[in-house]
């Protein structure tokens, strides 16, 4: 009950942070697109494209939170919890697509750098920096326990760094008149976007492939279960993540003949929650056949 209440409170805080961030980034995206077109700056347009992907990312995150809260049914026994991971995967993919577009446009401008209005470029970028700092602070204060929220947060962080890059490019253009700084900074922004996409794509694919959760060693967990009192064998051990912050485990455990199977199961469940924070467990506990055990009689004579 407490865990479910905390999870619901976390979703509410996440939703509030996302709505505020969407309002800030959505309004500024329009300003940055207009500023990029008027100043002729690719760096501003690249940052605007990233801001647009931020808006899509946050919108997907909000949709994922809403649909993931729907209850399970006979056809979807875990409900729609994996939708958050699919949203994170989509966000990571859009980041890669945005970076590819930036690299292509930067290549074209390296060959023939257009004139850029550095002064207005600097003003628009400075406003963007303030907006991204505000959105970043809102997201940073949110619990961000889901990969979905972390993906949206990384979008905003990458765009904050992009705004810094645009400001640097604008200053260089104003001081030196070197217009190549505009596509050069655009490439740097593209690399930042790729770096932020990598972590999101890696983590979402790991969850979708049902890999062992990061930070948990399946061999160590198996050994720890086997070390519990009366346990003689552990097999069919599977550990995976249903959605962010929701690890699950299933295993077949054999205990000594005559041992209390229900007690063994309870002690294993308590240990898994205490030592590995795994609360969702499915344990099949049976008695090991007597003929598989080695009994020592008369000192060291096995029989």
Q: Tell me which of 246 and 269 has the higher pLDDT.
A: 269
Give the dihedral sign, CA 192/197/200/206.
Answer: negative
Q: What percent of the chain is predicted at pLDDT more than 90?
A: 25
User: Locate tokens 């929650």: which residue?
Assistant: 273
pLDDT at 291: 63
The CATH code of the domain at 218-302 is 3.30.300.30
Q: What residues pair up with 282 in beta bridges, in sequence order? A: 250
3-state DSSP call for residue 25? helix
At CA 157, angle to CA 123 and CA 86, rounded to 5? Answer: 130
DSSP code of 237?
E
Inter-axis angle of helices 181-208 and 42-68, nearest 10:
20
The predicted pLDDT at position 1 comes to 43
pLDDT at 297 over 70: no
Token reading at 44: 């501003």
Give the model confidence (pLDDT) of 22-36 as tens digits: 888 888 888 888 988
Does residue 272 carry a pLDDT above 80? yes
* Measured distance CA(140)–CA(130) in Å, rounded: 15
Fold agreement between 2-208 and 218-302: no
Q: Is 253 in contact with 222 (CB distance < 8 Å)? A: no
Could you read off the pLDDT of 57-115 as tens digits, one per residue? 778 778 877 877 778 778 887 788 788 788 878 878 888 888 888 898 888 888 888 88
Q: At what angle do helices 2-39 and 42-68 cross, to 10 degrees?
A: 160
Q: What is the crossing angle of helices 2-39 and 147-176, to 10°?
A: 20
The sign one gets for the Cα dihedral 106, 112, 117, 122 is positive
Q: Report domain extents, the chain.
A: 2-208, 218-302
Give exposure, 13-23, as e/b (b: 16+ Cβ within 10 Å): bbbebbebbbe
Given a cut of 60, is residue 41 above it in pLDDT?
yes
Mean pLDDT of 187-212: 86
Q: Where in 25-81 does DSSP place strands (E)? A: none
More reliable by pLDDT, 76 or 269:
269
Query: CB-based burial of residue 275 (10 Å sphere; 0-12 exposed, 13-18 middle, 19+ buried)?
Result: exposed
Q: Are 151 and 59 in contact (CB under 8 A)?
A: no
50-53 long-range contacts, Cβ below 8 Å, gap at least 24? Answer: 50/98, 50/155, 50/158, 50/159, 50/162, 50/189, 50/193, 51/25, 51/128, 51/159, 53/91, 53/94, 53/95, 53/98, 53/155
- Residue located via tokens 């346990």: 231
Crossing angle between the packed helical segments 42-68 and 118-141, to the nearest 10 degrees: 20
Distance separating alpha carbons of residues 223 and 85, to the nearest angstrom = 30
67-81, 159-173, 189-203, 258-272: which has the minimum mean pLDDT? Answer: 67-81
Give me the chain's average pLDDT, please: 82
Tell me the pLDDT tens digit for each residue of 117-172: 888 888 988 988 898 888 888 878 776 566 667 777 777 887 788 788 889 888 99
pLDDT of residue 9: 54
Q: Which fold has domain 2-208?
A: Alpha-lytic protease prodomain-like (1.20.1510)
pLDDT of residue 146: 65
Q: What percent of the chain has pLDDT over 70?
A: 89
């Amino acid at each position: 009950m407490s865990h479910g209440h905390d999870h619901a409170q976390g979703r509410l805080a996440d939703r509030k942070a996302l709505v505020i961030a969407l309002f800030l980034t959505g309004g500024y995206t329009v300003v940055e697109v207009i500023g990029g077109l008027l100043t002729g700056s690719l760096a501003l347009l690249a940052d605007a494209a990233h801001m647009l992907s931020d808006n899509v990312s946050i919108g997907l995150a909000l949709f994922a939170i809403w649909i993931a809260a729907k209850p399970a049914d006979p056809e979807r026994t875990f409900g729609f919890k994996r939708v958050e991971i699919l949203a994170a995967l989509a966000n990571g993919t859009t980041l890669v697509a945005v970076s590819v577009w930036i690299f292509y446009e930067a290549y074209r401008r390296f060959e023939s750098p257009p004139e850029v209005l550095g002064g207005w470029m600097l003003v628009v970028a400075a406003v963007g920096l303030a907006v991204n700092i505000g959105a970043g602070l809102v997201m940073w204060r949110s619990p961000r326990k889901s990969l979905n929220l972390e993906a949206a947060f990384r979008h905003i962080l990458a765009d904050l760094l992009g705004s810094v890059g645009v400001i640097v490019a604008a200053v260089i253009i104003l001081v030196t008149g070197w217009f190549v700084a505009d596509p050069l900074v655009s490439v740097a922004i593209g690399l930042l976007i790729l770096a932020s996409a990598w972590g999101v794509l890696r983590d979402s694919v790991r969850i979708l492939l049902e890999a062992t959760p990061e930070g948990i060693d399946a061999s160590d967990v198996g050994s720890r279960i086997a070390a519990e009192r009366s346990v003689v064998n552990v097999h069919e051990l599977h550990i995976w993540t249903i959605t962010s912050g929701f690890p699950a485990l299933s295993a077949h455990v054999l205990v000594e003949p005559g041992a209390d199977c229900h007690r063994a199961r309870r002690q294993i469940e308590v240990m898994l929650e205490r030592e590995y924070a795994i609360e969702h467990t499915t344990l099949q506990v049976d008695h090991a056949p007597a003929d598989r055990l080695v009994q020592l009689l008369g000192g060291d004579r096995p029989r």
